[in-house]
Amino acid sequence: MNTSKSLKALAIIFFLSGIWDIIAGFNYAFMIGTVYTEPPVHRFYAIFLATFFLCFAYLQILSAFNIRRYLFIIGSVLIGRILYVVLLYAYIFGEPGFPSTFWWTGVVDISWSLLYIILTLINDEISLRDLFLPKWQES
């Protein structure tokens, strides 16, 4: 199967964003609520969120090895990243006294999201639709 350079690039970016989520998972598991205490968070919720980050990382890293088949996972992660950024900045700018400690994570996550979109748009084999509505394949 011939894979275009932009599809390979999308797979690499998706793999790297999975590594980013591993870092986030470890950050939540070991640092949020202990080293980082603003905003305050109960350790249970920090560890609970860490499990999700690690699961997302697993999906991203393994999906990158067969990116054409698992394009739908990119769309799912894309929605999650955008919702995270919107929620983060809504609280930073809209909630008086909310700490801006993790503003930079919003920049990183929106960057991953933009890369997913750009690499999909420049690819002539796939479309944005493929990220959200997987193609039906007969077994």
The rounded distance, in Å, linking the Cα atoms of 18 and 6 is: 18
Show Cβ contacts of residue 49 under 8 Å, excluding neighbours closer than 6 positions.
28, 32
The domain spans of the chain are: 5-132
Residues of the chain with pLDDT under 50: 1
User: pLDDT tens-digit profile of 100-138?
Assistant: 888 999 999 999 999 999 999 999 889 999 999 877 766
Query: Can you give the pTM of this predicted structure?
Result: 0.86
The pLDDT value recorded for residue 40 is: 81
Task: Please list the alpha-helical segments (H only) found in the chain.
Answer: 5-30, 43-63, 71-94, 103-121, 128-132
Burial of 71 (0-12, 13-18, 19+ CB in 10 A): buried
Show Cβ contacts of residue 47 under 8 Å, excluding neighbours closer than 6 positions.
28, 29
**Which of these, 49, 17, 16, 12, lies nearest to 31 by C-alpha position?**
49
The rounded distance, in Å, linking the Cα atoms of 26 and 6 is: 30
